[in-house]
Amino acid sequence: MTFLDLRSIKLRSGEEYRDEQEVGLQPLILGGKRYVPVPEQVPAELVVTRATTGTVFELRLRVRLHGPCYRCLEDAVFERDLELREYQADSPGDSDELTTPYLANDRLDLSAWGRDALVLALPDKILCKPDCAGLCPVCGLDLNREPHEHAASGGDPRWAALAELRDRL
Ligand SMILES: [Zn+2]
Ligand SMILES: [Zn+2]
């Protein structure tokens, strides 16, 4: 996990601190399937700006997530540039909007921040291509590679599967 130790950064009002960081991201489990960030250590640009009444944190990173297509289970890639911003007031009072959940004991949790932002940026379904045809509900073959239909007139789908197999032999 990647943290930024704020005690090592002393800023006066109006000053900023810039750094290149590698942010470690954990694999995500979505719908029972595993999606892995590639690389797992994501190069990121971090800017910390000291304002009069608090501190602004900005993080820019490009994430790539590899995992199975929601429809056909072939490899799919999700890629996105993330530009994140959090604010921590010196005296936030009771307002959640003036604090960042990723800051605790002067340490900013860059990994948790990046992971949450990635999850929010994800589409409903990660697909190998937008028009992925998926798997045939009758025989399970990949409809992208072998587009086909089965006769709708009833029949036992197991026989259909055998017929498919026979055709392929
Ligand atoms: Zn697919
Ligand atoms: Zn089929």
In angstroms, what is the span from residue 151 Cα to ligand 2's centroid?
10
In angstroms, what is the span from residue 37 Cα to ligand 1's centroid?
19
Tens digits of residue pLDDT in 124-165: 999 999 999 999 999 999 999 999 999 875 556 666 677 667
d(CA 38, CA 70): 19
Nearest to 68 by CA among 102, 29, 97, 121: 29
In angstroms, what is the span from residue 126 Cα to ligand 1's centroid?
9
In angstroms, what is the span from residue 65 Cα to ligand 2's centroid?
30
In angstroms, what is the span from residue 95 Cα to ligand 1's centroid?
44
Kindly report whether the global pTM for this prediction surpasses the value 0.75: yes
In angstroms, what is the span from residue 102 Cα to ligand 2's centroid?
48
Mean pLDDT by 10 residues, the chain (169 residues): 91 94 94 94 97 95 96 96 95 82 94 96 94 96 95 65 70
33, 122 Cβ separation under 8 angstroms: no
